[in-house]
Structure 1
Amino acid sequence: MGTAAPLIGAYTLLIVSPGPDFLAVFKASASRSRITGLYVAAGIVTGITAWALTGLLGAATLIDHCRWLYITVRTVGGLFLVYLGVCTTLAARRAEQPGKAEGIGTTPRTRGGREPGRAVQSWRLGLATNLTNPKQMTFFGAVFATLVPQVNLGHKTVLFVVMLAIAAGWYGVVAVLASQPVVTRGYQRVRRGVDMTMGLLFVCIGGALISGCA
């Protein structure tokens, strides 16, 4: 298990570093409710599960080494981030008009955190955000695929469970903290500016991915 420490260390840094996944969970919890943020987090963990399985099966390595496939996945991810950014920016511009701030993760907060019919939508948002995240593809196609073959099946299973636990724990904490009253009140005061900045950031990251600059 000598490879476990550097692998878990690199993975932890990947998870806690700010990026689309973090922003999606934070925004969902701060603008809607804790449970919505947790649904988004669940979608992200589902995406990580899929990436980890592709890494174990060698598919992630294929994507990482097959140039045209890598470019395709990166472009799709970039287009999704641009779409997400445009929706967020437009919703932020309409935020001052009551009833018209309906964008991704921009509906009003709900009392008690219950949003019937939005669970699947929030989960799918988290899943799509993670699956189109190039950082995940690079990690599982390069670092993960390189180090994991050096351990046996039992150790692979332990690593798999630990990595999912780290992701679930981190994004769960983000969802809980972002839904605290002091955070939500502060977010609501500067929501329009934050959402505009977040939307433009998504567009810039997506554009960089499409152009190959990221």
Structure 2
Amino acid sequence: MAAITLPALGLFVTTLGVAILSPGPAIIAASRSAAARGRQASMPYAMGLAIGASFWCLFALFGLTVLFRVLPQSYTVLRFLGGAYLLWIAIQMWRHAADPLAMEGESVAGPGFRQGLALNLSNPKPALFYAGVIMTIFPALSTAGAAVIYLVALSVEVCFYAAVTVLMATGPMRRGYRAAKTAIDRIAGTLIGALGLTLILRH
């Protein structure tokens, strides 16, 4: 088995970081939650999103993508269920877009760790992304090497989602969100709904 080199790890971390920050349902949800509820209330949600995303790396490392190739119907079912869940989240955002926020201080109402985990597990596309990146950068991995790659992916996911939560929970971001809550929630709901619909319809 080929050794894991620092340049290869650097490329993996960079590629993963760019992918995390690209517009997607999880990053939209994490940003909105932090702006609406503050850092303390939103951090468990962010950690659920991070760990849910990292599970797709684990699944890719240990064969889920092989199942997708052998039984394409399994991927189709996961896409449909995940897309339906994203559409449900989008509808809830639209329904509650005009709801008032709590008064001063951080609101504790809203999604937590389990909801974050469920959101990132609703989209199986990261499994294919992880599989493609890992196969390209690390074509031959031992079990120990796979464990190292998973721990690196988990660390990157946790750090990025935590950073987004801290940034979006700053005073200026929260004030901006409060001033335009209805429009922001409806835009976020539309984007998440479009991503869910794309997940269902894309072959």
* Fold equivalence (TM over 0.5): yes
Q: Matched residues in 2 for 1:89 and 1:65: separation?
A: 38
What does 1:11-30 align with in structure 2 at a 5 Å threshold? Answer: 11-30=16-35
RMSD: 2.4
- 2:120 is aligned to 130
Amino acid at match of 2:157: A
What does 1:69-80 align with in structure 2 at a 5 Å threshold? Answer: 69-80=74-85
What does 1:89-168 align with in structure 2 at a 5 Å threshold? Answer: 89-92=94-97, 95=98, 101=99, 108=102, 111=105, 113=106, 115=108, 121-144=111-134, 147-148=137-138, 150-168=140-158
What does 1:176-195 align with in structure 2 at a 5 Å threshold? Answer: 176-195=166-185
Q: Which of 38, 42, 46 is 2:47 aligned to? A: 42
Per the alignment, do residues 50 and 168 of structure 1 end up closer, same or farther by CA in structure 2, a change over 3 Å counting? same
Single out whichever of 182-191 and 155-164 deviates more from structure 2: 155-164
How high is the TM-score relative to the length of structure 1?
Answer: 0.81
Single out whichever of 33-42 and 186-195 deviates more from structure 2: 33-42
- CA apart distance, 1:38: 1.0
Q: Percent of aligned pairs with the same residue?
A: 27
How high is the TM-score relative to the length of structure 2?
Answer: 0.85
Amino acid at match of 1:44: L
- CA apart distance, 1:163: 1.4
User: Would you say the 8 A contact 2:80–2:200 is kept in 1?
Assistant: yes
- 1:98 is aligned to none
Find the residue that maps to 2:23 and give its secondary structure. coil
Unaligned runs of 5+ in 1: 96-100
Per the alignment, do residues 66 and 8 of structure 1 end up closer, same or farther by CA in structure 2, a change over 3 Å counting? farther
Q: Matched residues in 2 for 1:26 and 1:109: separation?
A: 20
